[in-house]
Each structure stands twice: as structure tokens, then as C-alpha cells.
Amino acid sequence: MKQKILIKNTTVVNEGKSVLADVLLSDGFIQQIGTINIEPNYKVIDGTGKHLFPGIIDGQVHFRDPGLTHKGDLYTESKAAIAGGVTSFIDMPNTVPNILTVESLKEKYEIASKKSLANYSFFLGVNGENIDAIIKTDTSQFIGVSDDGLYFTKKGNLLADNPETMEKLFANCKSIIAIHSEKEEIIEHNEKAFREKYGDDIPAKFHPIIRSTEGCYEATKRAIELAKKHNARLHILHLTTEAETHLFQNDIPLQEKKITTEVSVHHLWFSDKDYERLGMLIKWNPAIKTEEDKDGLLKALLDDKIDIITTDHAPHTLEEKQQPYFQSMSGAPMVQHSLNCMLEFYKQDLISLEKIVEKMCHNPAILYNITNRGFIRKGYYADLTLVDLNNQWTVAKDNLLYKCAWSPLEGTTFHTKIIQTFVNGKLIYDHGIFQENSFGMPIEFSNK
């Protein structure tokens, strides 16, 4: 008889409620939720005093595979994700090669099937030059298109900065268009002014002044105008300013929104006060901005103007980070600690558990039309994470799972711990130990 997993007596946090229940997993799926009697073929997990969350769906990561695997790869970073309660992720196209064609997308799926312990999907990259091909491609083949990170490889590629290519894409592309929204013209103007004053050695604290609020706001405003004009399906990635939050609506359900947005955990966690302490380690694009922006982003998240939380997990080696301003790579690893960070806000009474689950699990599934994940529902994939809300530990080098082996959170004490993670019904992560030989699946989605 096939073994089933019974999680007994746990607080299930799901769809706006936290309810004490048992959850039975069978053949990869959730079979039953309620009061369930123990049978001989059940592996029983005692969930007493613990909270069960749907596995997190991280809508924006850079796992660096293929081609940049000295920074991270689909094996190492998916392990870190699972230890953080993330069971599914959507990876960005700025790998080597860039994922700009359906053929390279297929190759990436192939690599993931052999390396990723979590479930996966991938954006098809759009860089301004492949728009005609993208328009012709059947949207059922990719979860969305994105320009994120591609501006690193070729100047002028920043899609949000090129009105003509944006217009063409928005007028013709029927899938989700996920945009990195910053105005290059403004950034370049500011870079020039700072370079004249400081040379190469611009202190990190000027990063949010160079990659300014104005640069973000202008790009987001224009993208929204274009999307409205063409009735396109626009998603603005990693919002960073309070000013931009007012450009989004909260008076319609997510299912009906044509324009959506997200916040990345680091923009809720860090502010300009942290540049002094962490320098280039928290250099991100778009930049970490002010304390007021950080508070404004959390408010917009609670008000439903911001729809989902992502990590934008973007590992670089320490050496690549610890460089003068213009050479220092932007981005940092976050995927192992996103849930811990959000639960710290819960501990401080800033957000409820149910809201965290809505923004990290339910809404990414709704936003990306993911058919059978993101909720604890009978018949859905058993992607789950069991959390101890009263467990103190400190982030340190020896508990990091990233290939790059550093985190801007080193030294941070969390008061919650992810103790077990289930992917497709299997207990993949159990108190620090992984089941290594079980790979995730492609995320199923229905592109309308």
C-alpha cells in the first residue's frame, strides 16, 4: 500500500483564515483537510504548535543557470528556496545565453528537470529586437515575457525606456508583460553628474539618488499609459517608491486587473539608512530608497495596490559586489529568507499571517494563471511549508545555502523558523536535511 503523509493538528493558514486541522497528502496532491484518523500506511507528522502555509510561489528570481553558474545554479538556489519555504519560482531570462527564443526556453526547462528541487517556470526574454518573433509565438508556451536584467548585456535594451518598441509590444503581445521600470535617460544624466564629482568611487548611499525616484516614476507612469491605451496585460516588477504606489488600483479584484505590480522583500526590509553599514552589498536595481518609501510600499501592500511579494533573488559573488560603484554588480541573494523577513513584520504586528500567505502564495498563482498551486485545497499539488513561529536563530555564513555564500542579512536574528517543506507531496526539506534526488516540475499555467 502506498505511503501517505498526514500532517496532524496544525494551524492551516489559508484563504484568509487560520484553522486547526489535519492535512493528508497522497500521490503528490492534497487529498483531505479536516479531522483525519491515523491509518497504518500514513507517515504522521506532528504539527502541534506549528503553522502550515501553502508553499511560496516566488514570481521573480535569477538562479543564473545556464551560463552564470559561478554565482548560483538551479540546484543550489532551488535548495536555498526550499529551505525558505519557496516551492515554486519563476526565473528571469538574463542568463548566458539570454532566454530570447522558445528553443532556449526549452533548453532551460531541460536543465531544470535535472537540477531544480522546486517547481519552475521561466519568463521569455524581450529585448526590443525579438518583439516580432514574440508576437508570433503561441502564448501557451511561456508564462510571460520580461526584460528584467537584460539591460546589463546591451545598452538601449531597457524596454521601459524605449517608447516605440514598448508600443509595438503592448499593441500586439497577449501574454503578461513584466517590466523592469526605470528610465535610463534620467539614470545616465545622474551618473554623469556623480562621476564628475567622485570619479569611480561614488559612495553606495548615492545609488538611490542616481537611480532616482523620478527615474522609476516616469517609467512606470509611461508604461501604465501605454498599457491602458492598448489594453495590454502589464506587470511592473519590484516597485521601490511610495510615489509609484499611487499609480495602481485597489478597487477591482486581482483576477480582473490588467495592470499589476509587486514589491521585493528587500525593498520592504532595507532603507537608505542601511547603505552606511552594508554599502554595495545592498546595491540593487531599482535601488533601495528612503524609509518613507519602505513604509509606503508596506502600506500599498496592505491596501492591495501591490499584488504580490517576490525576492528578485539575484546572487553575485562577494568579489563582484565589493567593487567601486560602476563595477559593483547590482542584486543580492534573498530567496532563503523572504518568508522569515515577512514573518518578522508579523511579529512586529505590521502584517497578518493571512495577508502574507495571500501575497506570497495565493496571489502569485492568480496573477500568473497558475492552475493548481498556491492554495491549500483538496486536489491541489501538496506544496506546503511547516513553520515554527517561536524559534530564534541568526543568519550566519554556516547556515547559508547559496552558492555565492554570503547574504546582506548575515547577523540578522529571526524569531521564526521554517522546519519542513513539501514539494509535490514529498517531504523535501526536514529540519535542515534535504531529500536530494527528487526534482520539481514545470508549473502549469493557463494563458488566456
Ligand X SMILES: O=C1C[C@@H](C(=O)O)NC(=O)N1
Q: Provide CB contacts within 8 A for 389, sequence distance 6+.
A: 50, 51, 343, 347, 415, 416
Which residue from 83, 106, 96, 158 is spatially nearest to 127, judged by alpha carbons?
158
Min dist. Cβ of residue 54 to ligand X (A): 26
Nearer to ligand X, 219 or 343 (CB): 219
Largest CA distance in the chain: 74
Among 42, 122, 206, 284, binds ligand X (CB under 6 A): 284
In angstroms, what CA-CA distances link 150 with 99, 123, 124, 249, 288? 10, 12, 11, 28, 20
All cell numbers assigned to 140: 501557451
Among 181, 240, 271, 285, binds ligand X (CB under 6 A): 285
Q: What DSSP string runs through 273-314?
A: GGHHHHGGGG--SSPP--HHHHHHHHHHHHTTSS-EEE--B-
Nearer to ligand X, 62 or 337 (CB): 62
Min dist. Cβ of residue 95 to ligand X (A): 9
Min dist. Cβ of residue 180 to ligand X (A): 5
Among 4, 50, 51, 62, binds ligand X (CB under 6 A): 62
CB contact at 8 A, 334 and 60: no
Q: Restricting to residues 291-330, name those near ligand X by CB under 6 A.
A: 314, 330
Report the Cα–Cα distance between both ends of the chain, in Å, rounded.
40
Q: Which letter, b or e, does each residue of 402-430 get, where b requires 16 or more Cβ atoms within 10 Å of its Cβ?
A: bbbebbbbeebebbbbbbbbbbbbbbbbe
Q: Restricting to residues 85-124, name those near ligand X by CB under 6 A.
A: 94
Is 429 one of the binding residues for ligand X (CB under 6 A)? no
CA distance 414 to 158: 37
Among 50, 51, 115, 180, binds ligand X (CB under 6 A): 180
Nearer to ligand X, 127 or 285 (CB): 285
Is 182 one of the binding residues for ligand X (CB under 6 A)? no
Among 47, 128, 149, 215, binds ligand X (CB under 6 A): 149
Min dist. Cβ of residue 285 to ligand X (A): 4
Nearer to ligand X, 121 or 146 (CB): 146
Min dist. Cβ of residue 284 to ligand X (A): 4
Min dist. Cβ of residue 135 to ligand X (A): 24
Which residue number has the CB closest to ligand X?
331
Is 183 one of the binding residues for ligand X (CB under 6 A)? no
Other Cβ atoms less than 10 A from the Cβ of 138: the count is 10
CA distance 199 to 210: 14
Nearer to ligand X, 284 or 381 (CB): 284
Nearer to ligand X, 236 or 427 (CB): 236
Among 85, 208, 296, 331, binds ligand X (CB under 6 A): 331
CB contact at 8 A, 175 and 139: yes
In angstroms, what CA-CA distances link 22 with 38, 53, 245, 382, 430? 10, 13, 39, 13, 18
Is 59 one of the binding residues for ligand X (CB under 6 A)? no
Among 91, 147, 148, 358, binds ligand X (CB under 6 A): 148
Which residue from 84, 120, 121, 108 is spatially nearest to 434, judged by alpha carbons?
84
DSSP tag of 34: E
Is 69 one of the binding residues for ligand X (CB under 6 A)? no
Q: Provide CB contacts within 8 A for 164, sequence distance 6+.
A: none
Nearer to ligand X, 64 or 373 (CB): 64
Min dist. Cβ of residue 432 to ligand X (A): 28
**Sites of contact with ligand X (CB under 6 A):** 62, 94, 148-149, 180, 284-285, 314, 330-331
